[in-house]
Structure 1
Amino acid sequence: MALIDVVVFEIGGTLYALDIHLAREIVEMMPITPVPRAPPHIAGIINLRGEITNILNLNRILNLPEHENEETQKIIVLMPDASGGSNVGIIVDNVRSVIQVEEENIDSMDNSFSKEAFVKGIIKEKTEESGAAGKTDLIIWLDMNLILAGLNIENL
């Protein structure tokens, strides 16, 4: 049985995941310098240990409501090869965990829907709750490669 490692994060109270091999690191929110005339999905740039990193607003890319509580926001910095060689980070409301998911706990999406929504599948994760049989969280597994390809990251 195959196991898949994913980073689980939150946007607007909904759980999302991306492949762990796409994430280089997770950093605390820091001041972002806006870039004049940048598309709305580009929040700006940061200086991350001497490297200029483009910061994408995932809420805007996915047409989700903006989150105002910056205390819990994080930046997931992606591997350069995932973003066409560019240094790119995405803003998320909070990072929950890194988990291993069994393939049998992932439901595929209808192709016509999944391409539009950038969804690879839906992860069903059982959580233990005291005194109960537990409940199942649904985690939307995002296709970050498809999202980045649609943004034409190389031109940032």
Structure 2
Amino acid sequence: MAALIDVVEFEIGNSLYALDIGVAREIVEMIPITPIPRSSPYLAGIINLRGEITNIINLALLLDPASAAEISDDQKIIVLVPDAAAGSNVGVIVDEVHSVIKVSEEDIEVMDDSISHMACIKGVIKLSRGEGAGQTGRDLVLWIDIVKLLGDLVAHD
């Protein structure tokens, strides 16, 4: 019997993504973000989340630097556990959080090491959904290695 893995499924643009449930501390509604002068474009700024200063990353810009990812009030922030970002308080902006899902290892396509290493992708999750209005019945979800992605940011900055 294949093992089940818990992930948080979310959306950016028209693409589906997931990250390990163990790195997500909480999901909060969008709140005002204070920009940081002369920071990297993907760093949206900081917020005061219940007395803790939290760095906010615009994940759309980090995943696709060419995107014109505007921040809007209907987006969400996935706040990560400090261990996911080398002890820092970090949150990532996403368009919508769909759900926490259990995925069978059988439904995960592991990517080639050279591609997954560069893209910080653990694999592609193949979700079966009900057939419906124009749907193929399957959705592909990119499973992000958010710990590696954030680690690479620290290494390059």
Same-fold call, TM cutoff 0.5: yes
Offset of 1:80 from its aligned partner?
0.7
CA offset at residue 68 of structure 1? 3.8
Q: Which residue matches 2:14?
A: 13
Correspondent of 1:85 among 84, 87, 90: 87
Task: Tell me the equivalent position of 1:104.
Answer: 106
Deviations 1:117-149 (A, max 9, x none): 111000000012359997011000001111011
Change (3 A) 1:61 1:12: same
Q: Distance in 2 between matches of 1:62 and 1:4?
A: 23
Q: CA deviation at 1:66?
A: 3.2
Asked if 2 retains the 8 angstrom alpha-carbon contact of 1:12 and 1:66, the reply is no
Query: Residues of 1 paired with 2:87 and 2:43: CA distance?
Result: 17
Does the CA contact (< 8 Å) of 2:31 and 2:73 recur in 1?
A: no
Percent identity for Structure 1 against Structure 2: 57
After TM superposition, give the deviation of residue 69 of structure 1 in Å. 6.7
SS class of match (2:34)? coil
- The 3 A distance-change label for structure 1 pair 148 and 131 is closer
- Contact conserved, 1:18 with 1:142, CA < 8 A, in 2? yes
What 5-or-longer segments of structure 1 have no aligned partner? Answer: none
1:135 is matched with 137
- The AA in structure 2 aligned to 1:84 is A
Tell me which amino acid in the other structure corresponds to 1:49: R
The count of residues paired between Structure 1 and Structure 2 equals: 154
Q: Normalising to structure 2: TM-score of the pair?
A: 0.91
The aligned residue for residue 32 of structure 1 is: 33
Instruction: Compute the RMSD of aligned alpha carbons.
Output: 2.1
Classify the secondary structure of the residue corresponding to 1:152: helix
| Alpha-carbon distance in structure 2 between the residues aligned to 1:108 and 1:49 | 38
2:149 counterpart (138, 147, 151): 147
**Alignment partners' CA distance in 1, 2:134 and 2:61:** 37
Aligned partner of 2:52 in structure 1 is 51
**CA displacement, residues 39-77 of structure 1 (integer Å, 9 cap, x when unaligned):** 111100000011100001111111152344724310000
**Change in CA separation of 1:32 and 1:128 when aligned onto 2, cut-off 3 Å:** same
Structure 2: runs of 5+ lacking an equivalent: none
| Aligned-partner Cα distance in 2 for 1:132–1:51 | 45
Match of residue 62 from structure 2: 61
